[in-house]
Structure 1
C-alpha cells in the first residue's frame, strides 16, 4: 500500500498542485487513489460547513470517492498557521487524534495514498507537536515539493536535513515554478534554471519526480491534469 506524506519547502510551494497531479496521473493508469489533508487553514463557509480549496482539489481525485470529512477532518477559516487558527476556535489539534484518524484510512490499501501537510515540514500542530510527527509516527516516506524561487536551494537542503533527522525516507522531490520573477525565457535565465535544478539534484538524495512549469490558470481539475503531464509516480519500495 504505497502511501506518502507530501511536504513543501514553504507555504505556497505547490504541494496541492503536485499532490493532485500525482493522483490524476495514478487515475490515468487505472489505480485507486486517496488524497488527504489532515489540517487546513484558509477555509470558506459553505452550507455544508467549512471547506478548503486544497482539500477539495484532493477530494476530486479520490477513487473510489470519499466524503469531505474523510479528506479534511480539521478545517479552519483564518488563513494562518494551523495551531493559531485552532487556538482562535478554542480547539487543539493533537498528533494522537490525527494518528487515529489516518490509521484506518491507510488500511483501505488504495494503490496510491497521499497525505498533504500544511506549509513546510516544521509547521506546529500545538505547543509541543509538529504535523511532521504524523509522517514519523506512521513511517510514511516523504515527497518534497520545492518551490523554485530565490532561496529555494537553501530551503530544500534545510528541509531535507530536517526530514533525515526525524527519520522518514525521502522518496522523491518535485520542482514547481511558482515565482513569476524567477527565471524568465531569456537564454541566461534558462541556464540559471538548469543550474538550479542540477544543484538541487546534487543535494537531494532522492529521484526527481518532475518539474512543473508555469501553468495557465484554470480549474483545479484542469491544473491537476496539466501538472500530471510533467510528473512520474514514485517507486513503491
Structure 2
C-alpha cells in the first residue's frame, strides 16, 4: 500500500487534474486505487446533497467503491477559503476531525491512495491550524503540484521548504503547465528541476479539458516507480 498527500503551490495549480492522472495511471496498471478530498468548498447543491466537481473527478478514478460522503466528508457551497466556508456553515474544522475522516479510507489498503488538500500548503483550517497539520497528523509523504506560470518558482521553493520544515517527506513534484503562454516556459521548468529537492514525476502540458488519460501519458513511469514505489509495467 502506498498513500500520499497531494498539495499545490496555490489555488488552481491543478492538484485534482494531476491527482486524477496519477490515479488513472495506477488503475490502468492494475493497481487498486482510492482517494479522499477531506474538505471542499465551491460545491453544488444537488438532490443527493452538496457535490464538489473535484471530488467527483477523483471518485471516477477510484477502483474501490467509495460513497461520496466518505470521499468528501466536509463539503461547503461557497467558493471561498475552507475555514471561512466552514465558519459560515457553523462547522469547526480541525486536523483531528479530518484525520479521523480520512483514516477509514487509508485502512481499505488500496495499492495507491491519494489524500488531496485544498489550495496550497498553508490554507487555514481554523484560527490555529492549517491543512498542513492534517498531512502531519497522517504522516503521509507529499506530492507537490506546481502550477507552471509566472511566479511559480518562488511558490514552489517556499512550498517545498515548508513541507520539509514540517518534518514530512517531499516524495516528488509534477510540473503542471497552467499557463501555456508563460514566457521562457522550459527555462522555468529547468530551474524547478535544478532547485526542488525531490524528483520530477512528470511535465504535463496545458490541456483543455484536462482528461486524466491524456495527462497520465505525460507522467514519468520510471520516476513514479522509483519515487512512489508504484509497480507500473513498461
TM-score (norm 1): 0.92
Aligned partners of 2:212, 2:45: CA distance in 1, in Å? 24
CA contact (8 A) 2:59 2:71 kept: yes
Would you say 1:53 and 2:53 are equivalent positions? Answer: yes
Aligned partners of 1:216, 1:123: CA distance in 2, in Å? 27
Aligned partners of 1:235, 1:179: CA distance in 2, in Å? 27
Deviations 1:37-72 (A, max 9, x none): 000010000000000000000000111221111110
Residue 28 of structure 1 corresponds to: 28
Residue 187 of structure 1 corresponds to: none
Q: Pairwise mapping of residues 69-148 of structure 1 onto structure 2 (< 5 A)?
A: 69-148=69-148
SS in 1 for 2:90: coil
Aligned partners of 2:49, 2:208: CA distance in 1, in Å? 30
Residue 186 of structure 1 corresponds to: none
Q: Of 179, 185, 201, which aligns to 1:209?
A: 201
Aligned partners of 1:180, 1:235: CA distance in 2, in Å? 28
The number of equivalent residue pairs is 225
Unpaired runs of 5+ residues, structure 2, are none
SS in 1 for 2:13: coil
Alpha-carbon RMSD: 1.3
Aligned partners of 1:226, 1:6: CA distance in 2, in Å? 20
Aligned partners of 2:87, 2:15: CA distance in 1, in Å? 25
SS in 1 for 2:172: strand
SS in 2 for 1:134: helix
Aligned partners of 1:206, 1:115: CA distance in 2, in Å? 19
Deviations 1:123-182 (A, max 9, x none): 001111111111111210000000011100000000001001101100000011112431
TM-score (norm 2): 0.93
CA contact (8 A) 2:180 2:205 kept: no
Q: Pairwise mapping of residues 218-229 of structure 1 onto structure 2 (< 5 A)?
A: 223-229=211-217
Aligned partners of 1:236, 1:25: CA distance in 2, in Å? 13
| Deviation >6 Å, runs of 4+ | none
